[in-house]
Amino acid sequence: MRIIIGVSGATGVIMSYYLLKALKEVEGCETHLVVSDYAKLNWELETNLPFQLLLDNADKYYDVHNLAASISSGSYKTDGMIIMPCSMKTLAGIVSGYTDNLLIRAADVCIKENRKVILCTREMPLSKLHLRNMHEAADLGCTIIPPMLTFYNNPQSLDDQINHVVGKTLMQFGIDHKSFIPWNGAN
């Protein structure tokens, strides 16, 4: 399995670290990471972790400005892409086909090749423009998974909330996440 992980400049970049750590535990899964310039800035603003820690959890890392990277071509086979978090700017670029960086180009390639594209969109509140763009992305075949709070799993920490989002996202690729607590019904 080969999955592209995109990290755009929305708040919540730490989620991408949890995602990569979870995928590192999946045997035979190869991750290809691309991080926007603003995601790097948000990493510095939102975490106390060195950026290299994020990179160390990916199998391959590409500069966001390298439009000649392997993941920019449909002939390079992948199983799809997860953008976590996905900023409204990145969402707009995807739905308009404005591929001015590798992150958006990789998503464009996955869409044109009918591969999975999961967008963990981050914004609050959502404007009609954001909702329209999410609708357009869904019409293009993308799956929208906003990182929403959950309570049925009795979360005790932010880690629990993030692991829930990661688990819901990985389910799209048929991957079980050990830290995900599914709903098992009421007794």
SS (H, E, C) 27-66: CCCEEEEEECHHHHHHHHHHCCCCHHHHHHCCCEEEECCC
Q: Average pLDDT of the chain?
A: 96
- Residue 169 marked as a ligand binder: no
- Residue 28 marked as a ligand binder: no
pLDDT in tens, 82-112: 999 999 999 999 999 999 999 999 999 999 9
Within-domain flag for 182: no
- Residue 31 marked as a ligand binder: no
CB atoms within 10 A of CB 187: 3
Closest CA to 58 of 37, 29, 99, 87: 29
Distance, CA of 38 to CA of 72 (rounded, Å)? 20
Within-domain flag for 185: no
- Residue 69 marked as a ligand binder: no
Domain that holds residue 160: 2-173
CB contact at 8 A, 32 and 71: yes
Within-domain flag for 186: no
Question: What is the count of structural domains for the chain?
Answer: 1
This prediction has a pTM of 0.97
The CATH number of whichever domain residue 31 belongs to comes to 3.40.50.1950
- Residue 11 marked as a ligand binder: yes
Within-domain flag for 179: no
- Residue 90 marked as a ligand binder: yes
- Residue 77 marked as a ligand binder: no
pLDDT in tens, 26-68: 999 999 999 999 999 999 999 999 999 999 999 999 999 999 9
- Residue 84 marked as a ligand binder: no
CB contact at 8 A, 76 and 69: no
Query: Which parts of 51-157 fold into alpha helices (H)?
Result: 51-56, 88-96, 102-112, 128-139
